[in-house]
Amino acid sequence: MADITKNYQVEGMTCGHCEKSVQEEIGEIFGVTDVQASHESGTVSVSGAGFTDEQVAEAVEEAGYSLK
């Protein structure tokens, strides 16, 4: 399966610690190879293969935030 990159809007990130929390939770999803979160733009970019939007949403919620 080829790697893909998907971008998501995240509500509630306000600082670098928020970014780190989101990145750590999403990074634990099987198949994810790279995660880049930005509290300034309110986005997270997820790269890899075999992950689902639902898995990303659950990980973001586990970190204490939500997808728009």
Q: What is the pLDDT of residue 29?
A: 98
Q: What is the pLDDT of residue 18?
A: 97
Q: What is the pLDDT of residue 1?
A: 73
Mean pLDDT of residues grouped by 10 in the chain (68 residues)?
94 97 98 98 97 98 97
In the chain, the domains with their CATH numbers are 8-67 (3.30.70.100)
Q: What is the pLDDT of residue 66?
A: 97
Q: What is the pLDDT of residue 13?
A: 97
Q: What is the pLDDT of residue 51?
A: 97
- Calculate the dihedral angle through the C-alpha atoms of 18, 19, 23, 25, rounding to the nearest 10 degrees: 10
